[in-house]
Amino acid sequence: MERRGRIIIIGAGIAGCVLALHLKKEGFSPVIYERVNQVKDVGGSLSLSPNGLRSLGTIDLAGDLTSLYGYPQIGIKRFTLQKLLIDRLASEGLRVEYGKSLKTIQEDADGVSAIFSDGTQVDGCCMFCCDGIHSVGRSQLFGLQPPEYTGLTQTIGLSPKPDSICDGDFLNVYGVNSFMVAYGYSEGEIAWAATLPEPEQPEVWKGMTNEEQEEFKRRSTFTDWGASIRQMMETTDRIIKVGLYDRPALDVWHRGRVLLIGDAAHPTSPHLGQGANQAMEDCAVLCRILKKHCSASEPLDILKLTLVFEEFEKIRIPRTSELVKSARAMGAVRVVAGAEECTARDERVRHMLNDGTSIPASYARNIGTDL
Ligand SMILES: Cc1cc2nc3c(=O)[nH]c(=O)nc-3n(C[C@H](O)[C@H](O)[C@H](O)COP(=O)(O)OP(=O)(O)OC[C@H]3O[C@@H](n4cnc5c(N)ncnc54)[C@H](O)[C@@H]3O)c2cc1C
């Protein structure tokens, strides 16, 4: 391959892997550069809605998932999805280079280079930064924007499914100053996530130590929330706590030959369960536009790339900006204190769940008309 013809993807998370598979389908052979040396079973679960599944369907992966986990709204352990994607990359002959942490981006008239923390460098015709919420690509392009703490944390757990919860149940539990969601993510197992107002916590998907888990269970009021929830909390074998932060929306996602994708472009709080789904929508939309203007047999020059990136931003920025705002608002709606506030919240939520045009319903049901 011509050195300058290489398509560079930074990050082998959900967006990076899905993008590589979409590009492969269009005849391109991108290479992924991933910071970690090895992908491990860390993190919790993701909720995949029809719009995300539709993107996976385009690369012939939805069938594998839906036959395993059901359809159309499914829960899946993040690691299971990432592993499935990485296995598919290997079977498609696509390369992932591990231990490559992007440090700097350099661009000249002929192409773009990624310089990694180990001092190595790769050159390419374009670069897609799929490097998540703490994106180095984003700060290289647009400077560091310190995130703002929302005052909420999310505590996530994976537990054996209590007998009282049926397959396919999607539990939303509203309490005083707290909210919990729980859904099955594989046979016999359930993922739960509790949103609480708490002092600032780091924005990392890191598991608690055994001692921290025991302390969380001891202090948690969730164990008073009925038998199913008590059982889930008592039997959980992994608890992760992450602080929820806001970042200002960007009005462009590209500079020259470099484009941000997924959380790097539009990090969102998790209250609408759309982070991974929107990242996967990005990939499908980008490749649809790329196919319209470019061909894998011709060089991706700056004029074509600019055309593609601008069209992509025109479609994706309004949709994701609205989503980020709505997700933020949803957190504030759900977590309230005081008897009157809780009663008003319960009424509002009841109305929202029955209203097919409400924001959560519209994102969950919207199967990506722009795909
Ligand atoms: C370890 C982990 C666990 C997670 N667990 C959950 C969860 O339980 N629930 C949930 O809702 N969301 C979770 N997320 C976030 C979720 O995956 C994303 O919000 C969503 O899927 C969008 O995906 P993304 O590919 O844009 O970002 P991510 O999935 O975060 O992927 C980013 C990838 O880029 C890599 N990377 C970062 N910096 C660099 C760099 N400088 N150079 C090269 N590579 C880099 C990361 O290692 C990662 O593989 C987790 C993310 C991570 C990284």
- Output the pLDDT for position 354: 78
* Across 8-32, average pLDDT: 97
Q: Do 232 and 278 belong to one domain?
A: no
CATH at residue 56:
3.50.50.60
- Output the pLDDT for position 72: 65
Query: How are strands ordered across the β-sheet holding 148-160?
Result: 170-175, 178-186, 189-197, 148-160, 238-246
More confident position, 329 or 123: 123
Residue whose CA lies nearest to ligand 1 atom number 38: 131
For residue range 171-181, what is the model confidence (pLDDT) as tens digits?
A: 888 889 989 99
- Output the pLDDT for position 168: 76
pLDDT at 276 over 90: yes
The CB-side HSE value for 6 (13 A sphere, CA atoms) comes to: 19
Q: Which atom of ligand 1 is nearest to the CA of 47?
A: 11
| End-to-end CA separation in angstroms for the chain | 30
Q: Are strands 95-97 and 31-33 parallel, antiparallel or unpaired?
A: parallel
Q: Do 305 and 360 belong to one domain?
A: no
For residue range 85-120, what is the model confidence (pLDDT) as tens digits?
A: 999 999 999 999 999 999 999 999 889 999 999 999
Residue 354 Cα to ligand 1 midpoint, Å, equals 33
C-alpha span between 345 and 8 (Å, rounded): 46
360 Cβ closer than 6 Å to some ligand 1 atom: no
Would residue 204 count as lying in a domain? yes
End position of a domain, from candidates 211, 246, 281 = 246
**Of residues 371, 370, 129, 150, the one with CA closest to residue 265:** 129
Percent of the chain with pLDDT over 90: 61
Q: Which atom of ligand 1 is nearest to the CA of 17?
A: 25
Q: Do 195 and 91 belong to one domain?
A: no
84, 60 Cβ separation under 8 angstroms: no
42 Cβ closer than 6 Å to some ligand 1 atom: yes
Residue whose CA lies nearest to ligand 1 atom number 3: 43
Q: Do 49 and 166 belong to one domain?
A: no
Q: Do 212 and 222 belong to one domain?
A: yes
pLDDT mean across residues, the chain = 90
12, 96 Cβ separation under 8 angstroms: yes
Of 11-20, 85-94, 217-226, the poorest mean pLDDT is in 217-226
Q: Which atom of ligand 1 is nearest to the CA of 268?
A: 19
Q: Do 98 and 14 belong to one domain?
A: yes
Q: In the structure, what pLDDT confidence band is assigned to residue 332 with cuts at 50, 70 and 90?
A: confident
Q: Which atom of ligand 1 is nearest to the CA of 101?
A: 42
195, 152 Cβ separation under 8 angstroms: yes
Q: Where are the beta strands (DSSP E) in the chain?
A: 7-10, 31-33, 45-48, 74-77, 95-97, 102-107, 112-116, 121-124, 126-129, 148-160, 170-175, 178-186, 189-197, 238-246, 254-255, 258-260
Q: Do 165 and 118 belong to one domain?
A: no
Domain that holds residue 201: 150-246
Decide: residue 45, CB within 10 A, 0-12 exposed, 13-18 middle, 19+ buried: buried
For residue range 128-166, what is the model confidence (pLDDT) as tens digits?
A: 999 999 999 999 999 988 888 999 999 999 999 998 888
- Output the pLDDT for position 131: 98
**Most confidently modeled range among 86-90, 148-152, 199-203, 292-296:** 86-90
Collapsing DSSP to helix, strand or coil, 48 comes out as: strand
Task: State both tokens at 122.
Answer: 């790769």
Q: In the structure, what pLDDT confidence band is assigned to residue 245 with cuts at 50, 70 and 90?
A: very high
- Output the pLDDT for position 122: 97
Q: Which atom of ligand 1 is nearest to the CA of 131?
A: 34
**Of residues 216, 79, 229, 238, the one with CA closest to residue 156:** 238
C-alpha span between 148 and 345 (Å, rounded): 25
- Output the pLDDT for position 353: 75
Q: Do 133 and 42 belong to one domain?
A: yes
Cis link prior to 72 (omega < 30° from 0)?
yes
For residue range 43-92, what is the model confidence (pLDDT) as tens digits?
A: 999 999 888 888 998 998 887 777 766 556 788 999 999 999 999 999 99
Residue 282 Cα to ligand 1 midpoint, Å, equals 15
Percent of the chain with pLDDT over 70: 93
Q: Do 361 and 312 belong to one domain?
A: no
Residue 132 Cα to ligand 1 midpoint, Å, equals 5
Would residue 371 count as lying in a domain? no
Residue of 34, 38, 281 to mutate, ligand 1, most atoms within 8 A of C-beta: 34
Report CA-CA distances (Å) from 56 to 8, 17, 49, 248, 261: 21, 11, 11, 29, 16
CATH at residue 190:
3.30.9.30
Q: Do 141 and 17 belong to one domain?
A: yes
| Structural domain count, the chain | 3
